[in-house]
Structure 1
């Protein structure tokens, strides 16, 4: 930077160029380092900051005053009062989650504790007039008065999230009157709102609204959705969860919002007529999630298949009256489908999934959850027709076994993620086939698949570059299988080996030697693991951040002390309270969590 006594950088570069450089530094630690070079860099780096996140640390209003004085260029402010102090790194200053780098006022701020109030919002609005994105998550003390101050001062606002805030109608109407650029609005769990507030907002700024989320708003009815349909022609994303809204509101949005691309619905009072309108009018629809629908049938979903040719992502959850006819209609009409999840739709069987395999060659992700009528031939057809498949999720699919896994392994060699839970017919033969043929697999979970043993892990260790592994409840797995993973998967970062009765210290020693990248380990209910194994693990896994070791009788207070003293990056240790010594509590109270206080 210097040649002799000359400061080449500061002399040659104007403020604007330095600020642009600071804005391109992605990490907070890097920006903090820049701010320490000299006073000019500190001033410019502060002015270039655009985003802050604030949790429930200190007195929120005073934190806001500190922030706006130091960072005058804020565009994105995020509050979440359900984020605890421990959400930030435990050994960093309590205000670190605000990204402000302030520590001198820490003790004073922590001496009081209160929620963000309207006074804090007034200060924010006065100083941050160019604010574009504001998130107020579960800020229970915010009222219409605070929201009005934001509306009047921050007219460039584009995104507003007031999830869990008990704001009234007047504040929302003010946003509509002043914030004509508003594009994204989240009103989930805003219990104080009525139709008057939402109707007033869309009448004021509905033309710019692209994304709207409404959930558990007791007083929002079809009248609001009719207004959305009338005033929001650019609406692209709608998330709606309501027991009150019926067909009328959905029909209005479907018929008057031609740009709609994403639709998430959980409206138990809606019927086939709503889906018929969506299929007839929403030709641009790409993402559809239907949850807990009890009044529509194959007739409604068939309309989606016939009309929404661009559909790429479909989720069907707890839709009890759908049958294979629905999936056949989707397969026939939506050849661009890339993601499909069928969850708890008890009338869908093998034939429906087979139709997807035959007609949707672009499928990338498939989830079959609690689908007990789907058998091996369904996945055989997926293996033959969906060679691009990258992720497969199976939960409680009791009729799917090794033949299905072998079909997937042979046909879907791009598979990256395989999650299987409580599929008791899947065993070593199927998983060995995956390890042999799926050379890109990085994420494997076979929870409580009690036919999976060491030979499966040996094949996976030899063939797959795993980064995440969950074998909890696979009681046939021993040290031999984990040793194969440790030797073959050096990039492993997450491991769940809980409820493995035969696993011992040798496995931990192998992991410590072979998996230096490990960050998160769950190994509860492992009776043969002891302090000796933990010592070997800690020596090799210097990056370890979280560890769960409850119900491991061989682990004592000495083992817990080894973890907190030997892992500089540790953030969370879940253990029985009685296993932690007083000295360890004093040294690492912020990283300790207790499952059962009274044990």
Structure 2
């Protein structure tokens, strides 16, 4: 009843904080914080994560944040988040609206200012636009460390103006730090040494694209916090060599994850890690100079290995995979990318030896063919995700065996697999009935028969992408519409699909949120009208190169699909500036419209220029 507070008078602060902590989205947190001053203050205590762009007035900025949100444990600063024209427009509008009320409600005005300056969220929310975008400095890092002394996770992404001085100030104040991401930061060895000296609980460290680091910094860090370090990532650090990995092997016995991308690493460092880090579970390597000797020792010593990813290896053969298959019985995920020396024999050994395998990706390994995949189907019954990319030698018989033996398969990705046809997908449909995601691109032997079988047997399918498959037509989508409740559909470039197929989807998939029908020449306005009637939850839509869709069709679509956020409509000859205006004015949540510049009127540009992106056609 209005005027009566039935909550604040009964529930103590502790119980209110507990309730707020169970909220599962930023929007829910924000809604609660606007109820009253008490809820605003209590809800702030439950915010544990801040995601912000860098701020030019970083000292004042982080002081403001630390006063408002005392329970923060995780801070993510990402200078890739830039200030968009839309953000500027929103910020100016909110400032005009709220700053005039400051004298009447200081706390609410401060909250509005804070919203403009930062983006805070719970663990599961999405990153939003940040209002101001400048370079974070060492002074800002010092204030951050002082304001959040209980910080546990810090990500500094491409913060180009920070140095060892700022990193040292954070390390000295945030001694409970457990995770540090310095991707793209030009910090030096002294900062890393300070982290090793002060942060004895550090568990995760990411040094991707940290060009200023050398062996000296990383070696000193491992001496200081090696016993706690569990995850280490290194990429494009030219001055970090095998000496660092030898130090890791000596001091980081409990290391579980190593991700390494380097042209300067050889067998020496990785052999040391394999011999010294027996708890290693995840190993991701992109090292052109590594040979079979490394994998031989990995198979012998890393018996707890669960995930192995090998990229662009040219100097190891099936001998290395033999060792992995014979020794790493707990392996669950295997990724092989551009490893041209490998053959069916190596994959067969892994399949027969690692029966717990759940994820397999084979990308551009031209020596692997049908026989290798058949062994996976026969020996790995727990497989849940399979990706075959640019595998010309893998044929239909391979997926026939996968369909027979891998009943728990939930995701299948096929790209440029010209030897796989309808019978293969039919086998998957009949044998893998809990399939949820099917992505097929440029597999020209797959047609209606395959997709009809998917619609009949895979009732759990929610994500379907069939791109540039010339033999797939309306009959396939009619079966999908009858049998599956899709949330995502991409049929770009499937020229046989017309109004009948997409209308069947509109009628049978009311939960559809993402749709790409680009380059379909048989679609018209009737399809847009039916989509508007049947799929009110649509958020992302691409209709580029659809010549027969006009402004009238857009009007019917927008009338009911008011939740649209992105809309691409380049080279649609039937759409004019009036249609573009219809989309912009009819969709209050719209964030991006991609269209030719000539179709945007001056009025539309003034009204929503911040959400319009232009296709570059002048080159």
TM normalised by structure 1 equals: 0.95
| 1:345-385 deviation digits (Å, cap 9, x = unpaired) | 00101100001111111111111100001111111111111
Are residues 419 and 70 of structure 1, via their aligned partners in 2, closer, same or farther at CA, if it must alter by over 3 Å? same
Give the aligned partner of residue 415 of structure 2: 395
Q: Distance in 1 between matches of 2:286 and 2:513?
A: 36
Q: Distance in 2 between matches of 1:235 and 1:88?
A: 44
Q: After the TM superposition, which residues 211-360 of structure 1 pair with which residues of structure 2 at under 5 Å, given as runs?
A: 211-360=231-380
| 1:517-560 deviation digits (Å, cap 9, x = unpaired) | 11111111111111111111101212111111111111111001
In the alignment, is residue 55 of structure 1 matched against residue 53 of structure 2? yes
Give the aligned partner of residue 32 of structure 2: 34
| 1:502-531 deviation digits (Å, cap 9, x = unpaired) | 211111111111111111111111111111
Give the aligned partner of residue 67 of structure 2: 69
Give the aligned partner of residue 103 of structure 1: 112
Does structure 2 conserve the Cα–Cα contact (< 8 Å) formed by 1:308 and 1:334?
yes
In the alignment, is residue 474 of structure 1 matched against residue 483 of structure 2? no
Q: Secondary structure at the match of 2:593?
A: strand
Q: After the TM superposition, which residues 432-471 of structure 1 pair with which residues of structure 2 at under 5 Å, given as runs?
A: 432-471=452-491
| 1:160-197 deviation digits (Å, cap 9, x = unpaired) | 10100000000000000000011111110000000011
Q: Distance in 1 between matches of 2:425 and 2:160?
A: 49
Q: 1:22 aligns with which of 20, 25, 42?
A: 20
Q: After the TM superposition, which residues 460-539 of structure 1 pair with which residues of structure 2 at under 5 Å, given as runs?
A: 460-539=480-559
In the alignment, is residue 379 of structure 1 matched against residue 399 of structure 2? yes
Does structure 1 conserve the Cα–Cα contact (< 8 Å) formed by 2:53 and 2:132?
no
Are residues 76 and 94 of structure 1, via their aligned partners in 2, closer, same or farther at CA, if it must alter by over 3 Å? farther
Give the aligned partner of residue 195 of structure 2: 175
Does structure 2 conserve the Cα–Cα contact (< 8 Å) formed by 1:117 and 1:142?
yes
Are residues 141 and 265 of structure 1, via their aligned partners in 2, closer, same or farther at CA, if it must alter by over 3 Å? same
Give the aligned partner of residue 423 of structure 1: 443
In the alignment, is residue 366 of structure 1 matched against residue 364 of structure 2? no
Q: Secondary structure at the match of 1:490?
A: coil
Q: Secondary structure at the match of 2:558?
A: helix
Q: Secondary structure at the match of 1:207?
A: coil
Does structure 2 conserve the Cα–Cα contact (< 8 Å) formed by 1:525 and 1:552?
yes
| 1:233-264 deviation digits (Å, cap 9, x = unpaired) | 11111111000011111111111111111111
Following superposition, the deviation at residue 26 of structure 1 comes to 2.8
Following superposition, the deviation at residue 69 of structure 1 comes to 2.7
Q: Secondary structure at the match of 2:378?
A: helix
Give the aligned partner of residue 98 of structure 2: none
Are residues 291 and 105 of structure 1, via their aligned partners in 2, closer, same or farther at CA, if it must alter by over 3 Å? closer
Does structure 2 conserve the Cα–Cα contact (< 8 Å) formed by 1:95 and 1:106?
no
Following superposition, the deviation at residue 55 of structure 1 comes to 2.1
| 1:418-450 deviation digits (Å, cap 9, x = unpaired) | 111000111111111111111111111110000
Q: 1:44 aligns with which of 29, 42, 45?
A: 42
Q: Secondary structure at the match of 2:28?
A: helix
Q: Secondary structure at the match of 2:511?
A: coil
Q: Distance in 1 between matches of 2:115 and 2:561?
A: 33
Are residues 523 and 59 of structure 1, via their aligned partners in 2, closer, same or farther at CA, if it must alter by over 3 Å? farther
Q: Secondary structure at the match of 2:45?
A: helix
Are residues 10 and 195 of structure 1, via their aligned partners in 2, closer, same or farther at CA, if it must alter by over 3 Å? same
Q: Distance in 1 between matches of 2:110 and 2:392?
A: 53
Give the aligned partner of residue 106 of structure 2: none
Are residues 529 and 101 of structure 1, via their aligned partners in 2, closer, same or farther at CA, if it must alter by over 3 Å? farther
Q: Distance in 2 between matches of 1:563 and 1:101?
A: 35
In the alignment, is residue 121 of structure 1 matched against residue 141 of structure 2? yes
Are residues 95 and 395 of structure 1, via their aligned partners in 2, closer, same or farther at CA, if it must alter by over 3 Å? farther
Q: Distance in 2 between matches of 1:276 and 1:87?
A: 55
Following superposition, the deviation at residue 61 of structure 1 comes to 4.6
Are residues 57 and 514 of structure 1, via their aligned partners in 2, closer, same or farther at CA, if it must alter by over 3 Å? farther
Q: CA RMSD in A?
A: 2.3
**What count of residue pairs does the alignment treat as equivalent?**
594
Q: Distance in 1 between matches of 2:411 and 2:20?
A: 38
Q: 1:190 aligns with which of 210, 213, 225?
A: 210
Following superposition, the deviation at residue 48 of structure 1 comes to 3.3
Q: Distance in 1 between matches of 2:22 and 2:613?
A: 37
| 1:478-516 deviation digits (Å, cap 9, x = unpaired) | 111111111111111111101111211111111111111
| 1:312-362 deviation digits (Å, cap 9, x = unpaired) | 110000001000001110111000001100000001011000011111111
Are residues 108 and 504 of structure 1, via their aligned partners in 2, closer, same or farther at CA, if it must alter by over 3 Å? closer
Are residues 90 and 457 of structure 1, via their aligned partners in 2, closer, same or farther at CA, if it must alter by over 3 Å? farther
TM normalised by structure 2 equals: 0.92
Q: Secondary structure at the match of 1:85?
A: coil
Q: Secondary structure at the match of 1:358?
A: helix
Unmatched runs of 5 consecutive residues or more in structure 2:
95-108, 119-129
Does structure 1 conserve the Cα–Cα contact (< 8 Å) formed by 2:158 and 2:183?
yes
Does structure 2 conserve the Cα–Cα contact (< 8 Å) formed by 1:287 and 1:311?
yes
Q: Distance in 2 between matches of 1:557 and 1:441?
A: 38
